[in-house]
Amino acid sequence: MSLSDRPSVRLRPEIVALPAYKQGKPADASAFKLSSNENPFDPLPGVIAAANAETAYNRYPDASALALRERLAATFSVDVDQVHVGSGSVALLAQLILAAAGPGDEVLYSWRSFEAYPSLVTVAGATSVRVANRPDHGHDLPEMAAAIGDNTRVVIVCSPNNPTGTVVTKDEFEAFMAVVPADLLVILDEAYIEFVTDADAVAGPPLLERYPNLVVLRTFSKAYGLAGLRVGYALGPVEILNAARSTAIPLSVTAQAAAAALASLDAEKVLLDRVGIIAARRDATWQTLTAQGWNIPAPQGNFLWLPTGGETTSVAEALGEAGLVVRPFVPEGIRVSIGEEQSVAILLSISADLVDALPAGHPARQIG
**Shortest reach from residue 204's CB to ligand PLP, in Å:** 13
Q: Which of 147, 135, 73, 180 is nearest to 309 (CA)?
A: 135
State which residue, 92 or 355, has the beta carbon closest to ligand PLP. Answer: 92
By the 8 A CB rule, do 229 and 256 touch? Answer: yes
- Neighbouring CB atoms inside 10 A of 267's CB total 18
Q: Does 100 bind ligand PLP (CB under 6 A)?
A: no
Q: Which long-range contacts (CB under 8 A, 24 or more apart) does 70-78 make?
A: 71/262, 71/265, 72/233, 72/235, 72/265, 75/265, 76/205, 76/235, 78/205, 78/208, 78/235
By the 8 A CB rule, do 160 and 167 touch? Answer: yes
Out of 39, 110, 133, 219, name the contact with ligand PLP by CB under 6 A. 219
| Element (DSSP H or E) covering residue 250 | none
Distance, CA of 168 to CA of 172 (rounded, Å): 6
Of the listed pieces 14-22, 75-83, 88-96, 128-136, which binds ligand PLP according to CB under 6 A?
88-96
**Shortest reach from residue 90's CB to ligand PLP, in Å:** 3
Q: Which of 129, 109, 254 is nearest to 186 (CA)?
A: 109
Q: Does 109 bind ligand PLP (CB under 6 A)?
A: no
By the 8 A CB rule, do 293 and 355 touch? Answer: yes
Q: Does 89 bind ligand PLP (CB under 6 A)?
A: yes
State which residue, 160 or 307, has the beta carbon closest to ligand PLP. Answer: 160
Of the listed pieces 4-12, 86-94, 147-155, 290-298, which binds ligand PLP according to CB under 6 A?
86-94
Q: Does 37 bind ligand PLP (CB under 6 A)?
A: yes
**Shortest reach from residue 333's CB to ligand PLP, in Å:** 15
Out of 51, 90, 155, 267, name the contact with ligand PLP by CB under 6 A. 90
Per CB under 6 A, residues contacting ligand PLP are 37, 88-90, 114, 158, 162, 189, 191, 219, 221, 227, 232
